[in-house]
Structure 1
């Protein structure tokens, strides 16, 4: 069964270009295109949409607000696809439920693969974006739920969210890199996540 996709962008050229590109993949089915967030919310509420590609700056309802409304009332997974990488947009989109944040400068294959990965249940934030966010954002977990983790695992999670490498974590906590890797493996197992970047994203979103 194909992945049903909604494209929302106020630039007609972008909308139609994306529709053509995505339609070339037999696993993807663009079911609707629209030019503002309000229309995107209405369509997702009344129709089955697997993944919504949203720009950030749009009339009537911007991408951040649209993400919040779609994620609140539907099961549609949202990917922000934009030219803007401002911290506020990134963090607000993730907090409001976006499963992906991608720049339009990426190749068509990257966009297509991101759609498939998000549809399969993973979060995708390109490395440049997450590094930028982590370098300027103090890790804050508004609704911490760390009961499933040991004290050392919590320290590892917080260190990852600070943007530290395995080597830097080992030096900070006075443990070997191998031990750090073992802790990360345990954390990934407990959270059903696939890689360390997702740990940082989930921590910043208050989901672990």
Structure 2
């Protein structure tokens, strides 16, 4: 089996060393390089084409948001952003830049290893802590008639293309999107809506296609911008 090739980018040497030690405990992972800033990460990604980059956000020379945008636009690697919640705007900027996931720097080693494997395997990951830090869970509107109220609230928050995508969602797809943005897994959404997990996956696939979204992470950003659920106060 091919090993998953990982690039670590953080401006703190201690963090880089710690991450390298953690990843080294998994025989399926291989740290191919480390970088002290975004510019070094971009150059290393171009040269080595790792599967996954673990990316800090706030760094000198080139920050993690800009580096993520360059790496994902060039298709040289997938990016997991490591954050300490210092800047919520950086979080969403990095999601916009194409990050496939977010983790806290105090994440348990086992979770980090699972996340790297999941992202390398084509999944997207948004830590529940990250979701709940930025977005307050709300009750989904009734599937009978959510569109008018949601469209009115969202019209000034998203562009025309996104608005058309929002209008095209069915009531059930809208419910799935709202619960997804609230931090629920497919299994949890299925339980809440009293449907099968396969049905949830179908709705998720349909709404991603209609909205032109790549994955669950982009769907959360879309829901946030559209104000489908309220922001945390304070």
| Equivalent of 2:194 in 159, 178, 185 | 178
Structure 2 CA distance, aligned partners of 1:33 and 1:68? 18
Structure 1 position 149, deviation (Å): 5.8
Structure 1: any 5+ residue segments left out of the alignment? 166-175
Q: Is 1:29 equivalent to 2:27 in the alignment?
A: no
Query: After superposition, where does 1:158-173 map in structure 2 within 5 Å?
Result: 159-160=178-179, 163=182
| Equivalent of 2:172 in 153, 157, 165 | 153
Secondary structure of the corresponding residue to residue 135 of structure 1:
coil
RMSD value, Cα: 3.4
1:171 corresponds in structure 2 to none
2:93 corresponds in structure 1 to 92
Structure 1 position 189, deviation (Å): 4.7
* CA gap 1:52/1:107 in 2 versus in 1, 3 angstroms: same
Return the TM-score normalized by structure 1.
Answer: 0.77
Structure 1 position 155, deviation (Å): 3.1
Return the TM-score normalized by structure 2.
Answer: 0.69
Structure 2 CA distance, aligned partners of 1:192 and 1:147? 11
- How many residue pairs match? The answer is 192
1:105 corresponds in structure 2 to 106
Structure 2: any 5+ residue segments left out of the alignment? 138-152, 185-191, 224-234
2:206 corresponds in structure 1 to 190
CA contact 1:8–1:52 (8 Å) conserved in 2: yes
Structure 1 CA distance, aligned partners of 2:110 and 2:24? 12
2:217 corresponds in structure 1 to 201
Structure 1 CA distance, aligned partners of 2:183 and 2:53? 32
CA contact 1:161–1:201 (8 Å) conserved in 2: no
1:62 corresponds in structure 2 to 63
1:45 corresponds in structure 2 to 46
* CA gap 1:97/1:164 in 2 versus in 1, 3 angstroms: closer
2:21 corresponds in structure 1 to 20
